[in-house]
Amino acid sequence: MTDFHTYHLNLLKLGYNNLIKQEPFNSEDADAVDAEFLEQFAALISAFESHEPVAYDEGQYLMARLVRAYPQLVPLVARDLFWLFGGDCLHFMPDDEISRFQQLDELRAEAEESGKAFDYLAARTRLFNQH
Which pLDDT score, from 0 to 100, does residue 60 have?
A: 97
Instruction: Return d(Cα 48, Cα 78) in angstroms, integer.
Output: 16
Distance of CA 12 to the CA centre of its chain: 6
Q: DSSP alpha helices (H): ranges in the chain?
A: 3-19, 32-49, 54-69, 79-85, 95-113, 120-129
Instruction: Return d(Cα 67, Cα 88) in angstroms, integer.
Output: 11
Residues listed for the chain = 131
Which pLDDT score, from 0 to 100, does residue 79 have?
A: 96
Which pLDDT score, from 0 to 100, does residue 1 have?
A: 42
Instruction: Return d(Cα 69, Cα 119) in angstroms, integer.
Output: 35
Instruction: Return d(Cα 76, Cα 87) in angstroms, integer.
Output: 20
Which pLDDT score, from 0 to 100, does residue 115 have?
A: 93
Which pLDDT score, from 0 to 100, does residue 2 have?
A: 59
Written in H, E and C, the secondary structure of 26-41 is CCCCCCHHHHHHHHHH
pLDDT of the chain, 131 residues: tens digit per residue: 458 999 999 999 999 999 999 999 998 888 999 999 999 999 999 999 999 999 999 999 999 999 999 999 999 999 999 999 999 999 999 999 999 999 999 999 999 999 999 999 999 999 999 75
Q: What is the pTM of this model?
A: 0.92
Instruction: Return d(Cα 43, Cα 33) in angstroms, integer.
Output: 15
Which pLDDT score, from 0 to 100, does residue 131 have?
A: 54
C-alpha distances out from residue 77 to 43, 44, 113, Å: 16, 14, 31
In this structure, are residues 16 and 45 in contact, taking their beta carbons and an 8 Å threshold?
Answer: yes
